[in-house]
Amino acid sequence: MTTPATEIDVSRGSDVLAAGYDYAAVTEKISSVVLLRKSGRAWRFGFTVSVLLVMILTCAVSYLFLRGVGIWGIDIPVAWGFAIVNFVWWIGIGHAGTFISAMLFLMFQDWRTSINRFAEAMTLFAVACAGMFPLLHLGRPWEFFWLLPYPNTMWLWPQFRSPLVWDVFAVSTYGIISLVFWFVGLIPDLATLRDRAQSYPARVAYGILALGWRGSARHWNRYRTAYLLLAGLAAPLVVSVHSVVGMDFAAAQLPGWHSTIFPPYFVAGAIFSGFAMVLTLAIPLRWAYGLQDFITIRHLENCAKLMLVTGLIVAYGYGAEAFYGWLSGNEFDMYMNVNRALGRYRIEYWMLIFCNVLTPQLLWFRAVRRNVGLLLLISLVIQVGMWTERFVIIITSLQRDFLPSSWGMYYPTRWDWATLFGSVGLFVFCFLLFVRFLPAISMAEMRELVHEQSRGPGKEAA
Amino acid sequence: MSASGQIYGLLAEFDAPAPFVHATEQTREAGYTRIDALSPFPVPGLDEALRLPPNRVPLIFLLGGIFGGLSGFFMQVYSCTYSYPINVGGRPLYSWPAFIPITFELTILGAGLAGAFGMLALNRLPMPYHSLFNCPRFDLASQDRFFLLIESADARFELQQTREFLQSLGALSISEVPK
CB atoms within 10 A of CB A200: 8
| pLDDT > 80? residue A212 | yes
Pairwise CB contact (< 8 Å): A213 & B142: yes
Min distance B139 CA to chain A CA atoms (Å): 5
pLDDT value for A30:
92
| pLDDT > 50? residue A275 | yes
The model's confidence at residue A3, banded by pLDDT at 50, 70 and 90, is very low
Instruction: Report chain B residues whose CB lies below 8 A from the CB of A448.
Output: 41-42
What is the chain A residue with the closest CA to B45? A217
Instruction: Report chain A residues whose CB lies below 8 A from the CB of B44.
Output: 451
Min distance B45 CA to chain A CA atoms (Å): 10
Phi-psi region of B158 (alpha: psi -120 to 50; beta: other; left: phi over 0): beta
Whether residue B12 contacts residue B174, with contact meaning beta carbons closer than 8 Å, is answered with yes
Does A244 contact B at CB distance below 8 Å?
yes
Assign B30 to helix, strand or coil. Answer: coil
In this prediction, the answer to ipTM > 0.90 reads yes
**Averaged pLDDT for residues A209-227:** 95
- Measured distance CA(A172)–CA(A182) in Å, rounded: 15
Min distance A3 CA to chain B CA atoms (Å): 6
pLDDT value for A97:
87
The model's confidence at residue A7, banded by pLDDT at 50, 70 and 90, is low
Instruction: Report chain B residues whose CB lies below 8 A from the CB of A175.
Output: none
pLDDT tens digits along A370-397: 999 999 999 999 999 999 999 999 999 9
Low-confidence ranges of chain B (pLDDT < 50): 1-2
pLDDT tens digits along B28-50: 999 999 999 999 999 999 999 99
Instruction: Report chain A residues whose CB lies below 8 A from the CB of B61.
Output: 226, 229, 233
Strand-pairing partners, residue B38, are: A216, B147
Pairwise CB contact (< 8 Å): B143 & A24: yes
**CB-nearest partner of A230 from B80, B112, B139:** B112
Q: In what order do the strands lie in the sheet with B173-178?
A: B35-38, B146-151, B7-14, B173-178
